[in-house]
Structure 1
Amino acid sequence: MGLTKRIISPTDLRQWASSIAYNEILNLINSVNNKLISQPIQNNLVYSKAISLVCEVLDKLQQAVSDYPPEEQPQRFGNKSFRRWFTWLQENAISLCSIIFHDHGTTDFSDPPISYTEALEEVAGYLTESVGNSIRIDYGTGHELAS
């Protein structure tokens, strides 16, 4: 299943901003934010299995960033080593996402159901696209949820 841009025009953006999915994402972000207000940062927290697996993937991404240090040359826009890291991510996105998700055959949350492999490929695509664009050396600054 390939990724398809669905927000192309101002009309599409308005439609997205009034959708149930948009409101659910915004409510989740606000809920987490409200729970964290005035909370101290702690290093000795006990995490759920799901959070531990997400942290494991983030640690692997951070390590890969260390493996591709910035090039020492003048550049007007971004650092060209981002392209090498991005290629690494493209090559490893499915295996990284499979750390978090477990093979259950088909997904029961889509209609019609899709295979685990298709779902994993889609999520890996979102992961890859979320960090930016290697052609423009654009680091993906959160524009995906901007309104």
Structure 2
Amino acid sequence: MQPTPAPWASAATAAPTGQRSGGGSSSDAPGAPHPGGGSCGGGGLVTAAPWARPPGTAACPQHADGRAAPPAPGHKPPSMHSAGPMGHADLAGSLGMRPGGGGSAAAPPLPTVTPAMPPLAPPCAGGAPARKRIGSVSDLHRFLASPSCRDYVAFVLSLNDAVAGKKVSDECSVSAPVDALLCMLETLSRWVDEIPPVQQSLRYGNPAYRTWYMRMADSADDLLRAVLPEELHGRVAELSPYLADSFGNATRIDYGTGHETTFAALLFCLARLGLLTEDDRQV
């Protein structure tokens, strides 16, 4: 396997990794992406997370037939503590730090970079599952000075630049990989309709979210296989923890910037693998 720019980075894609708790298991598996050339969601999803879609909102019309997803034989969730990158402030808080003061140490600044798509990852048959590699202040400082961090920040800024001044309703070209990602999100959204809320008064969230999360985490490998071309299926084990940690925490029943950062890291990995290109940034 090729060496990576930083020892705390994901092996094949050099994406940053952290860790959040959650997880569970289920035997349900995802549906396949739409085989046609159209884009699921038409003008794009309107919610930041699939479980946030208001009740009664129509699902993707191309998947309105409600076809059942194939089973995932013997599949287990990536981990009860799935790995994924944390946001800067989120990670600093977890280490007892507060940006700009407070805690045991001030969080170091993010690197100043020029917006750009990341370099392609070196050829590799596959990688080990992403896991936590930042566990101390010194780890954090080393990561923030690494090529992995600079490439990741440049990627996020590049996505931001691509949509500056654009309207959600603006026309944009949807590539096959992006269409597959949208269909994956529609599958996750459809599962929200299949898992009714628990009729129970709680201060935070609804326990039904844990059922949804278990299904998603248990199906992460299959969801990614539906997005990746066959020649990249060897990367599934490495990427699935990023996907499983992108949609909240099943223990706390919450969703925050760290989870958003993790989903952006998943997109970063796909860009490093050449699946997403500059033409996909606006989508």
TM-score (norm 2): 0.43
CA positional deviation for 1:48: 0.8
Out of 156, 159, 162, the residue aligned to residue 29 of structure 1 is 156
Aligned residue in 2 for 1:111? none
Give 1:55 shift: 0.8
Q: Report the counterpart of residue 38 of structure 1 in structure 2.
A: 165
Q: Which has the higher contact order (CA 8 A, sep 6+)?
A: 2
Q: State the match for 1:122 in structure 2.
A: 238
Q: Which has the higher helix share?
A: 1
- 2:208 is matched with which residue? 81
Structure 1 runs not aligned, ≥5 long:
108-115
Deviations 1:104-127, CA, capped at 9 Å, x for gaps: 2xx6xxxxxxxx44x212212221
Shift of 1:43: 6.2
Q: Does 1:135 align with 2:251?
A: yes
Instruction: Give yes or no for contact 2:210–2:253 (8 Å, CA) kept in 1.
Output: yes
Cα distance in 1 for residues equivalent to 2:258 and 2:164: 24
Aligned to 1:112: none
Deviations 1:81-123 (A, max 9, x none): 111001111222111101111222xx6xxxxxxxx44x21221
Count of residue correspondences: 134
> CA separation in 2, counterparts of 1:9 and 1:79?
33
Contact kept? 2:248, 2:254, Cα under 8 Å: yes
Aligned to 2:147: 20
Aligned to 1:130, what secondary structure does the other structure show?
coil
Structure 2 CA distance for partners of 1:121 and 1:16, relative to 1, 3 Å: same
Using the size of structure 1 for normalisation, the TM-score is: 0.78
2: CA distance, partners of 1:45 / 1:34:
15
Q: 1:23: Cα distance to partner?
A: 1.1
* Aligned-residue CA RMSD (Å): 2.2
The structural deviation recorded for 1:42 is 2.4
Measured in 1, the distance between the counterparts of 2:145 and 2:197 equals 41
